[in-house]
């Protein structure tokens, strides 16, 4: 039994199944009442309708997700010691796939049982994102734990996420520890990348596709490459390193194009590659009309939907860009197409790709289906943590 005077939320009868199955979110509609005045962002016990203990978590009455669960052990309350243990466990989990000091995601929120916390390592520096009120209260503890465990030269917080507004939080950025330059240059798989630490998308670089970029290299030699929605051009850099003849990147962000051009220069690829700044949809249409052809095409757009309500227009967007890619594909071309929209699952995504191929009049084989890199672990009890789909396709005819 739970202690009588602890802050707690009582679930409605029959609404404890998701929590018992391992999910880390408790929605407002699953809660019967909150007892003993839980603080906003503070620790809370989750109990069933009969007041039997289920989990420890943190509470936010302003969020649709009222509780995020941190532990299911009665003797493991939410405190600084638990946060330090979880961070240490997350760091240890990267060792089989990543070298010591390697650039990677060190903490992946629900995937590491630290909902609301993301940490990326770029060489000797760390970038932290905090997306929830409950984790916000532990900012200093988190920074101390990361400093003690990884000894970075600096830690920068990039909590400028729009989702913080759902938690009643304003954006927050700034140096947490040490010194952090505006831009650092890191090496991944023998390639050099300039990373904007304080500006730009996500925490500076998209790391979830790293192993897919490696897989792309087998299909790159001698091909002309189109990298659409390319950000700073990571896919095309890997392709050029593997012997691609030429590469073109399409990107709407001027800041990303600037960093991408720096990356080309750092790696000695400036003579074999270029960028076109602007809307990728428009560029794809224009190249289709001009009869352009490519032997390797990469589509890595941002999420076209963040909710089930906007799934239909998202499907139309994915179909449009894949249709254009298939029309631009030379005979025998490889198309690598991705979706990071959780609400469009793998089978639904392949259905969209299949429809696009049919409308383009192309016969297409699936070479392989890939997901996010192992530094973005999937918590099987939290399907939302499995978001990335990446299909490698061969245009047969």
Residue pair 224/296 in contact by the 8 Å Cβ criterion: yes
The verdict on whether 104 is a catalytic residue reads: no
Report how far apart, in Å, the C-alpha atoms of 286 and of each of 34, 279, 328, 358 are. 57, 11, 11, 21
β-pair partners for 227: 249, 298
Q: Where are the beta strands (DSSP E) in the chain?
A: 8-11, 25-27, 31-35, 43-47, 53-59, 65-71, 104-108, 117-122, 125-130, 154-159, 172-178, 183-188, 191-196, 224-228, 246-251, 273-277, 294-299, 329-339, 364-370, 389-395
- Determine which one of 230, 256, 340, 390 is catalytic: 340
**Region for 383 from its dihedrals, namely left if φ exceeds 0, alpha if ψ lies in -120 to 50, beta otherwise:** alpha
β-pair partners for 246: 224
- Residues annotated as part of the active site: 340
């Amino acid at each position: 039994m739970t202690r009588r005077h602890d802050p707690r939320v009582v679930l409605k009868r029959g609404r404890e199944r998701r929590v018992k199955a391992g999910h880390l979110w408790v929605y407002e509609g699953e809660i019967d009442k909150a007892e003993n005045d839980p603080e906003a962002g503070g620790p809370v016990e989750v109990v069933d309708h009969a007041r039997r203990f289920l989990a420890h978590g943190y509470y936010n009455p302003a969020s649709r997700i009222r509780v995020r669960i941190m532990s299911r052990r009665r003797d493991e309350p939410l405190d600084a010691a638990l946060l330090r243990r979880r961070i240490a466990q997350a760091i240890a989990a990267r060792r089989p796939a990543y070298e010591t000091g390697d650039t990677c995601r060190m903490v992946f929120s629900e995937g590491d049982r630290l909902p609301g916390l993301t940490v990326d390592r770029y060489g000797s520096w760390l970038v932290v994102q905090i997306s929830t009120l409950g984790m916000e209260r532990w900012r200093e503890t988190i920074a101390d734990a990361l400093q003690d465990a990884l000894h970075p030269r600096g830690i920068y917080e990039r909590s400028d996420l729009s989702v913080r507004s759902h938690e009643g939080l304003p954006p927050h950025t700034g140096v947490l520890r040490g010194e952090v330059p505006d831009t650092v240059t890191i090496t991944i798989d023998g390639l050099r990348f300039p990373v904007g630490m304080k500006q730009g998308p996500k925490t500076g670089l998209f790391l979830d596709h790293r192993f897919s970029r490696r897989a792309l290299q087998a299909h790159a030699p001698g091909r002309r490459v189109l990298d659409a929605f390319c950000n700073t051009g990571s896919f095309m850099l890997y392709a050029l390193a593997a012997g691609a003849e030429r590469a073109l990147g399409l990107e709407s962000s001027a800041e990303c194009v600037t960093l991408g051009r720096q990356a080309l220069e750092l790696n000695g690829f400036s003579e074999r590659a270029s960028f076109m700044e602007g809307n990728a949809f428009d560029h794809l249409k224009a190249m289709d009309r001009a009869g352009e052809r490519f032997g390797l095409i990469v589509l890595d757009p941002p999420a076209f939907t963040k909710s089930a309500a906007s799934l239909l227009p998202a499907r139309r967007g994915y179909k449009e860009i894949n249709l254009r890619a298939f029309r631009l594909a030379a005979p025998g071309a490889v198309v690598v197409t991705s979706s990071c929209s959780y609400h469009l699952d793998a089978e639904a995504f392949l259905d969209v790709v299949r429809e696009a191929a049919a409308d383009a009049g192309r016969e297409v084989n699936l070479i392989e289906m890939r997901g996010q890199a192992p530094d973005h672990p999937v918590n099987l009890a939290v399907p939302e943590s499995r978001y990335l789909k990446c299909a490698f396709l061969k245009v047969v005819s």
